[in-house]
Amino acid sequence: MRNDHKARHSRSLYLIWQLAELEARRLDSPVIKPLHLLLALSKSVDVGLPSIVSKELSNRDAVLEECLREVRRLRSLFSAAGLNGAIFRSLRCIPTKQDALVSGPGALHRSRAAMEVFAAAEHYAGLRKCVVYPVYLLLAVLCTEDPQRDLVFKETGVSRERLHEVVVQAALGQGFPVVAAGNEAAGWN
């Protein structure tokens, strides 16, 4: 039997998606990669949310309230792990293997690895039977193999293991062994 149920994604997750696209464009990437998602997650704690949430939304107050709550949660996790988002993002210029194509106009799509990260975030939220919030995306980013991310952590002195431990506790609580989720197809592109 086919499962047509798709995970619900929080408005704050869409905010992270938009910030990741900006990070990818800033780095002249043709696709959004897991590192762009991590940069967006760290950037979200420093942006003025009231200025970027559209005033035209009929439910703006509810959207803004959720985004503020989830950004406070991320800020708390980063602080507990000793991650300074501004310093972390200053290392965007670490040399990486560039993609052959440069992005053009229009929305950027996720790389295969980023799709797998979203699928893993959906899996982790499903364990708690809840909406996919940015904390689940952060957990998924931390559970993937990513030498580029690990180099950034090394350069900033951030312990990926400590951040992972803090995020697992916040996202899933105690008693959940967390390994990278399989290659489930992501529910949205």
Which tokens belong to 171?
A: 């996202």
SS3 155: helix
Given this model, what pLDDT does residue 174 score?
Answer: 60
- Residue 2, exposed/middle/buried by CB under 10 A (0-12, 13-18, 19+)? exposed
With a cut of 70, which residues of the chain have pLDDT below it?
A: 1-7, 91-105, 174-189
Which pLDDT belongs to residue 2? 37
Query: What pLDDT is recorded for position 6?
Result: 54
Place of tokens 């910030």: 19
pLDDT of residue 4: 38
Parse the chain into domains and list their residue ranges. 11-95+107-172
The percentage of residues in the chain with a pLDDT greater than 90, rounded to a whole number, is: 50
Q: How far apart are the first and last CA of the chain?
A: 23
Q: At what angle do helices 160-172 and 112-127 cross, to 10 degrees?
A: 40
Contact between residue 44 and residue 134 where contact means Cβ atoms under 8 Å apart: yes
- Superfamily of chain region 11-95+107-172: Clp, N-terminal domain (1.10.1780.10)
pLDDT 10s digits, 51-93: 888 899 899 999 999 999 999 999 999 999 888 877 777 766 5
pTM above 0.85, yes or no: no
